[in-house]
Amino acid sequence: MTDTFLLDGEDIPFTPGQTVLQAALAAGQYIPHLCYHPEFKPHGSCKVCTVKANGRFATSCTLPAQAGLNIESDIDEVNDLRRTLVQMLFAEGNHFCPTCEKSGNCVLQALGYDLGVMTAGFRHLFPDRPVDASHPDILLDFNRCILCELCVRASCEVDGKCVFALAGRGITKHLIVNSESGRLVDTEVALTDKALAVCPVGVILVKRQGFAIPIGERRYDKSPISAQALADAPRPAPAGQPCVSCEKDE
């Protein structure tokens, strides 16, 4: 018999080792999230996936799925919290969507649309973080970084290079490049690195490819982030059939 927990009144099956977020996505139920990526171990940095578990707040990407859990996600109290978190991210960085080449492919922008965020809600900080254009093929716009750490983990865990890292604490926390000069050109980064592909916003950009995909044909122009997340979620295959997530990795 498969163990289940409740998500907004619906039974969600899970397997041992899955988190609440992983089980929900595999079952076709969307919980808004930002820093979670199905290829990396979750660590709950952004808190957008927060839910109420048996009456207490918890990040669903790190909360182990357990029988008997009563998860509340799509309720006003939780969605208001998520909107506030997204608004803070927009206000903290320089996110000018109409002129950003990541528009339509940006997870933060798509999540804002999904949650109905229409204004930043806070005074913009307009940080001054110099752009690194030292590399011949890659541009770094630190002003858009949301500190999700995906590029940090991808560069270390997949690429084996540890090109990126986070420095500072609190409001001074920021993305840095691991080289003596602090410039990207003095690292071993390559266009084929996984770190370049996982950035959810417009921080890591390939030069001479800007706006190559026209408006209307970009990832989140075609369908909302909720549909895209469910399509990307790894799911166990029925007995005798190949694993869905394995097919995607090939």
Residues 216-233 pLDDT 10s: 899 999 899 999 999 988
Residue 99: the pLDDT is 86
Confidence at 250, pLDDT banded by 50, 70, 90 = very low
Instruction: Tell me the pLDDT of the chain averaged across its residues.
Output: 91
Confidence at 17, pLDDT banded by 50, 70, 90 = very high
Here the contacts of 69-75 (C-beta below 8 Å, separation 24 or greater) are 69/5, 69/6, 69/20, 70/5, 70/6, 71/5, 71/6, 71/7, 71/8, 71/12, 71/20, 71/24, 72/8, 73/7, 73/8, 73/24, 73/31, 74/8, 75/8
Residue-wise pLDDT tens digits, 75-133: 999 999 999 999 999 999 889 888 898 999 999 999 999 999 988 889 988 888 889 99
Residue 236: the pLDDT is 67
Confidence at 240, pLDDT banded by 50, 70, 90 = low
Residue 244: the pLDDT is 44
pLDDT above 70 covers a percentage of the chain that reads 94
- The structure's pTM equals 0.89
**Would you put residue 9 in left (φ > 0), alpha (ψ -120 to 50) or beta?**
left
Domains (range + CATH), the chain: 1-74 (3.10.20.740), 82-210 (3.30.70.20)
pLDDT at 210 over 80: yes
Alpha-carbon distance 21 to 194, whole Å? 23
Q: Which amino acid is at 69?
A: L
Confidence at 2, pLDDT banded by 50, 70, 90 = confident
pLDDT at 234 over 90: no
DSSP code for 213: S
Residue-wise pLDDT tens digits, 30-57: 999 999 999 998 888 899 999 999 999 9
Over range 136-140, report the average pLDDT.
97
Residue 209: the pLDDT is 87
